[in-house]
């Protein structure tokens, strides 16, 4: 079992500042080189390559980086860029083809709305939440993935907080209950007793009967695709901030304990925990970045009742950041590389973005750095509390 190291913050914080400065330079260069585009993964370190998307789900991460950098620097250039890129995403509030509207709107319109309280932004959040809720299958009690009516993905746990937000803004109890039902179905069908997760669940969409676990991006139906586990850890933590339900917090903690139990000492996992060990087994730095950000919030959530547990999660987040903000993962020592964080994986089986930079890895890395340095909401962030959904 990998136990989090006790990290010397005075040595780590300057490295995180350097990482955030580097991220600002890389994101700005990407905006200048590829204006108005929303890259997903690099090929040989380059964002523009015309490769397959599988699905279009990442716009909120590129724009979300701009919101984070605007908050860190107070520079109006970032604020203008963040607003511009967010507006480009606004039509997606009506997009019924994907399950990713949380990824898109929680990282763009939500920070914008929190800053301004603007009514139009609030309405966009409500509409996007209602659009996502239209994917709900009442018989199976789940939000279906973009792939097929019979398919439920673990990734949706990071999107369902958008429905909780819409429910709260609209005062719509039905929406709240639908989102809560999705969480219970996910817990029942995708989260295993040891805290590991399956990527996908398959249902009979007509009867709602659960047929079994499956995977698209992981090694096998019964394996643990590490990014999926990180989505669950962070997703259930965020959901708890809306529901206050002990079951949601318990799942997040089981996920976190599984992550820590199965990770190497760096706390940067292989792409799937069950992939056979070999020198060329890809790691997924993006799973580590998501886990770091989620662990910061989980630590803040647990602190009042379980200070020792909270300390363990916070040390784990710092251990991950200590590992990632290093020459091995930061592209600062790779001339010409356009991303921030190397050694991410998008879709191994399709050969997309393997051992590359991936936009969500960039976003959650900077978000976690921001939680520690105080420019993002979260455990050690400016308001000292976990963000609500």
Contact residues for ligand GLY (CB under 6 A)?
57, 155, 217, 227, 346
Residue 379 · residue 296 · CB < 8 Å = yes
- Nearest to ligand GLY of 30, 286 (CB atom): 286
Residue 325 · residue 272 · CB < 8 Å = no
Q: Chain-centre distance of CA 324, in angstroms? A: 16
What does the alpha-carbon distance between residue 111 and residue 121 come to, in Å, rounded to a whole number? 10
Q: CA torsion, points 129, 131, 134, 135, in degrees to nearest 10?
A: -90
- Nearest to ligand GLY of 157, 389 (CB atom): 157
Q: Can you tell me which residue has the tokens 């919101």?
A: 67
Question: 315-354: string of b/e by CB count within 10 Å (b at 16+)?
Answer: bbbbbbbbbbbeeebbbbeeeebbbbbbbbbbbbeeebbb
- Nearest to ligand GLY of 122, 227 (CB atom): 227
Cβ 1 to ligand GLY, closest distance in Å? 25
Cβ 108 to ligand GLY, closest distance in Å? 17
DSSP count for the chain of H helices, then E strands? 13, 7
Cβ 352 to ligand GLY, closest distance in Å? 9
Cβ contacts of 110 within 8 Å, gap of 6 or more: 125, 165
- Nearest to ligand GLY of 7, 104 (CB atom): 104
- Nearest to ligand GLY of 332, 346 (CB atom): 346
What does the alpha-carbon distance between residue 59 and residue 54 come to, in Å, rounded to a whole number? 14
Residue 290 · residue 371 · CB < 8 Å = no
Cβ contacts of 57 within 8 Å, gap of 6 or more: 40, 98, 100, 103, 104
Backbone angles phi, psi at 353, to 5 degrees: 55, 50
Cβ 345 to ligand GLY, closest distance in Å? 9
Cβ 287 to ligand GLY, closest distance in Å? 9
Cβ contacts of 33 within 8 Å, gap of 6 or more: 47, 48, 338
Cβ 358 to ligand GLY, closest distance in Å? 8
- Nearest to ligand GLY of 55, 385 (CB atom): 55
- Nearest to ligand GLY of 239, 318 (CB atom): 239
- Nearest to ligand GLY of 155, 377 (CB atom): 155
Cβ 217 to ligand GLY, closest distance in Å? 6
* Shortest-Cβ-distance residue relative to ligand GLY: 155
Cβ 344 to ligand GLY, closest distance in Å? 10
């Amino acid at each position: 079992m990998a136990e989090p190291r006790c990290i010397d913050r005075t040595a780590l914080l300057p490295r995180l500042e350097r990482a955030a400065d580097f991220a600002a330079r890389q994101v700005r260069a990407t905006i200048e080189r590829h204006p108005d585009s929303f890259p997903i993964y690099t090929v040989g370190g380059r964002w523009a390559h015309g490769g397959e998307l599988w699905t279009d789900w990442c716009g909120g991460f590129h724009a979300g980086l701009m919101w984070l950098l605007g908050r860190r620097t107070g520079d109006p250039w970032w604020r203008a860029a963040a607003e511009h890129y967010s507006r480009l995403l606004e039509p997606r509030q009506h997009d019924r083809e994907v399950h990713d509207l949380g990824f898109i709107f929680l990282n763009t319109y939500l920070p914008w709305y929190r800053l301004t309280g603007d009514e139009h932004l609030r309405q966009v959040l409500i509409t996007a939440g209602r659009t996502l809720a239209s994917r709900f299958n009442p018989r199976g009690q789940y939000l279906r993935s973009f792939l097929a009516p019979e398919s439920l993905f673990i990734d949706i746990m990071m999107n369902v907080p958008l429905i909780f937000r819409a429910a709260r803004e609209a005062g719509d109890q039905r929406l709240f209950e639908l989102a809560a039902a999705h969480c219970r179905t996910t817990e029942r069908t995708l989260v295993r007793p040891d805290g590991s997760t399956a990527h996908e669940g398959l249902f009979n969409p007509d009867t709602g009967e659960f047929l079994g676990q499956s995977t698209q991006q992981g090694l096998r139906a019964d394996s643990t695709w590490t990014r999926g586990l990180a989505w669950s850890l962070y997703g259930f933590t965020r959901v708890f901030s809306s529901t206050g339900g002990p079951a949601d917090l318990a799942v997040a903690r089981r996920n976190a304990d599984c992550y820590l139990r199965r990770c190497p000492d760096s706390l940067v996992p292989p792409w799937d925990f069950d992939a056979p060990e070999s020198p060329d087994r890809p790691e997924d730095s993006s799973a580590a970045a998501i886990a770091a950000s989620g662990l910061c919030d989980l630590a803040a959530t647990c602190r009042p009742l379980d200070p020792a547990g909270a300390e363990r999660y916070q040390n784990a987040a710092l251990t991950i950041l200590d590992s990632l903000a290093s020459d091995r993962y930061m592209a600062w020592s790779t001339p010409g590389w356009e991303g921030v964080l190397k050694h991410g994986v998008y879709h191994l089986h399709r050969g997309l973005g393997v051992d590359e930079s991936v936009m969500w890895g960039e976003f959650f890395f900077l978000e976690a750095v921001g939680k520690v340095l105080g420019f993002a909401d979260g455990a050690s962030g400016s308001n000292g509390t976990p963000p609500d959904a």
